[in-house]
Amino acid sequence: MLSQQTIDIIKSTVPVLEVHGTEITSRFYHLLFTNHPELKNVFNQTNQRKGRQPEALANAVYAAAVNIEKLESIIPVVIQIGHKHRSLGVKPEHYPIVGQFLLQAIKDVVNPPEEVIAAWAEAYGVIADAFISVEADMYNKAEEQEGGWKDTRKFKVIKKEKESSVITSFYLQPVDGGKIASYKAGQYISITASIPGEQYTHMRQYSLSDAPGNDYYRISVKKESGTDTTPGGMVSNYLHEQVSVGSELTISAPAGDFTLDESSTKPLVLLSGGVGITPLLSMLNTVINKGIKREVYFFHGALNSETHAFNGYIQDVVKEHSNVKSFIAYSNPTSSDLQSKNYDKEGFITLEDLQNVLSSNVADFYFCGPTPFMKSMYKALGEWKVDPSSIHYEIFGPAESLAE
């Protein structure tokens, strides 16, 4: 329990964090990797270069400071981050290291009085204990469930299937021949990639793109080719170009809190952009496989039919199940698309589209995709006055605000 003096001091630092938060966390990561380069095996270095990870950590530290009197209010965030930490293999021994360099970064950037550093040291200890406790429970549950395991396990690729011009699916089974852990629709696994020529391993999280209940895991990965100014995705390119049937991959047990509420009877609205279709496809298949009686509306935005993965499959589902409907928007349709009119709209999915297809805003909304798509959907649902408890989304990568 924090003392009132500590709480008062932490609250007084909120304006400083608002101004210098990202500078502090950028300095923190520099110190961390300089002194512990082995942790580059855990942290996504692409997100470091893009500044996404420092910004996400700054937001988390700011949220902790703002809610220091009622830390229980950030438990949902602790759980969400805890899932990612467990899938990445973050352990209790990492927290003192993080604390040491976070405090040093605060000193280096704003040089506060010693009592401020002491207060943050005390607060960090309490917050770290919360993470450690939550993650210990997650590790135990991951290991104790049937077919489960605690850290990582070797899987082999039994099938590799091209789903579009940019997305390929990988079907994975354990090398040891044992059972696999079940999961909830919407969850992900982490892959630890040892890429030839790279000094450190690279860990990436990929949504499971099929319903649970099979003897395999399926991930569907977009190849991030990059541009003249931005590098391509190191792991996605490795998977597409160097991993084939028979290759072995090291993965974590399924994790994540972006999961389908199977008990709800409200209409289910799935909104996806690009490769964001993957966790939502798992949700769709779960509803179909379990015979859950509810209306399902699957909205998807893509460049065109060439990049649109799983379209044929979803259209077959729509034909076979009267409770499932789809809406497709292509922002850059091909000449063939323009001739065949195999989509519902040219452009992007908007609030008007949702209102034209759905009878009301009383539904469960799940959405995932590129950040601009996510922000657009979040804004549209807000404008439509959708109940916030009915809005669920997954951001690929470090957490960021969708509010504009």
CB 174 within 8 A of CB 180: yes
pLDDT band at 45 (very low <50, low <70, confident <90, very high): low
> Does residue 18 sit in the same domain as residue 130?
yes
**Candidate list 29, 95, 171, 343, residue with the active-site label:** 95
Whether 363 maps to a domain, the answer reads: yes
* Nearby residues of 322 by Cβ (< 8 Å), 6 or more positions away: none
Measured between alpha carbons, how far is 400 from 373 in angstroms, rounded to an integer?
13
**Which of these ranges, 97-101, 259-263, 332-336, 350-354, has the smallest mean pLDDT?**
97-101
Measured between alpha carbons, how far is 389 from 402 in angstroms, rounded to an integer?
16
pLDDT of residue 50: 56
* pLDDT greater at residue 163 or residue 1: 163
Q: Is 393 a catalytic residue?
A: no
Q: What's the mean pLDDT in 321-326?
A: 96
Measured between alpha carbons, how far is 15 from 315 in angstroms, rounded to an integer?
52
> Does residue 290 sit in the same domain as residue 239?
no
Q: How far apart are the first and last CA of the chain?
A: 35
Q: What are the structure tokens assigned to 217, written together? A: 């895991």
State the chain's mean pLDDT as an integer.
91
Domain count within the chain: 3
Q: Is residue 287's pLDDT more than 60?
A: yes
**Does 205 count as an annotated binding residue?**
yes
**Does 333 count as an annotated binding residue?**
no
The domain spanning residue 359 has which CATH number?
A: 3.40.50.80
The domain spanning residue 203 has which CATH number?
A: 2.40.30.10
Which amino acid appears at position 390 of this protein? S
> Does residue 378 sit in the same domain as residue 274?
yes
Q: What's the mean pLDDT in 217-224?
A: 96
User: Which residue from 332, 358, 336 is spatially nearest to 345, judged by alpha carbons?
Assistant: 332
Whether 404 maps to a domain, the answer reads: no
Which amino acid appears at position 49 of this protein? R
Q: What's the mean pLDDT in 57-62?
A: 76
Residue 237 structural domain: 152-252
pLDDT of residue 398: 52
> Does residue 137 sit in the same domain as residue 9?
yes
User: Can you give the C-alpha Rg of the chain in angstroms?
Assistant: 22
Whether 260 maps to a domain, the answer reads: no
Whether 403 maps to a domain, the answer reads: no
pLDDT band at 366 (very low <50, low <70, confident <90, very high): very high
Q: Is 135 a catalytic residue?
A: yes
Measured between alpha carbons, how far is 43 from 56 in angstroms, rounded to an integer?
13
**Does 24 count as an annotated binding residue?**
no
**Does 279 count as an annotated binding residue?**
yes
> Does residue 14 sit in the same domain as residue 59?
yes
Percentage above 70 pLDDT, the chain: 93
Last residue in a domain, options 125, 144, 163: 144
* Strand residue runs (E) in 253-302: 268-273, 296-302
Last residue in a domain, options 93, 126, 144: 144
| Parallel/antiparallel/unpaired status of strands 268-273 and 248-252 | unpaired
Q: What are the structure tokens assigned to 374, written together? A: 């996510």
The domain spanning residue 13 has which CATH number?
A: 1.10.490.10
Buried b (16+ CB within 10 A) or exposed e, 72-100: eebeeebbbbbbbbbbbbbeeebbeebbb
**Does 85 count as an annotated binding residue?**
yes
Whether 259 maps to a domain, the answer reads: no
**Does 273 count as an annotated binding residue?**
no
Last residue in a domain, options 124, 144, 164: 144
pLDDT band at 226 (very low <50, low <70, confident <90, very high): low
Measured between alpha carbons, how far is 313 from 336 in angstroms, rounded to an integer?
20
CB 189 within 8 A of CB 206: yes
pLDDT band at 80 (very low <50, low <70, confident <90, very high): confident
> Does residue 133 sit in the same domain as residue 170?
no
**Candidate list 29, 55, 124, 135, residue with the active-site label:** 135
Whether 329 maps to a domain, the answer reads: yes
Which amino acid appears at position 248 of this protein? E
* pLDDT greater at residue 45 or residue 173: 173
Q: How far is CA 403 from CA 217, 268, 371, 372, in A?
A: 34, 23, 11, 11
* Nearby residues of 52 by Cβ (< 8 Å), 6 or more positions away: 397, 398, 400
**Does 207 count as an annotated binding residue?**
yes
Q: How far is CA 159 from CA 126, 223, 241, 244, in A?
A: 46, 17, 14, 8
Whether 116 maps to a domain, the answer reads: yes
* Nearby residues of 230 by Cβ (< 8 Å), 6 or more positions away: none
**Does 204 count as an annotated binding residue?**
yes
> Does residue 140 sit in the same domain as residue 8?
yes
Q: Is residue 47's pLDDT more than 70?
A: no
pLDDT of residue 104: 94
Is 111 in a helix, a strand, or coil?
Answer: coil
- Per-residue pLDDT of 155-204, as tens digits, reads 999 999 999 999 999 999 999 999 999 999 999 999 999 999 888 888 89
Whether 262 maps to a domain, the answer reads: no
pLDDT of residue 224: 86
pLDDT of residue 77: 82
> Does residue 247 sit in the same domain as residue 356?
no
DSSP lists the bridge partners of residue 141 as none
**Does 274 count as an annotated binding residue?**
yes
Q: What is the dihedral of CA 103, 104, 107, 113, to 10 degrees?
A: 50
> Does residue 36 sit in the same domain as residue 62?
yes
Task: Tell how many helices (H) and how many strands (E) occur in the chain.
Answer: 13, 12
**Does 188 count as an annotated binding residue?**
yes
Q: What's the mean pLDDT in 56-84?
A: 82
> Does residue 18 sit in the same domain as residue 138?
yes
> Does residue 11 sit in the same domain as residue 133?
yes
**Does 206 count as an annotated binding residue?**
yes
pLDDT of residue 49: 57
* pLDDT greater at residue 68 or residue 313: 313
> Does residue 386 sit in the same domain as residue 272?
yes
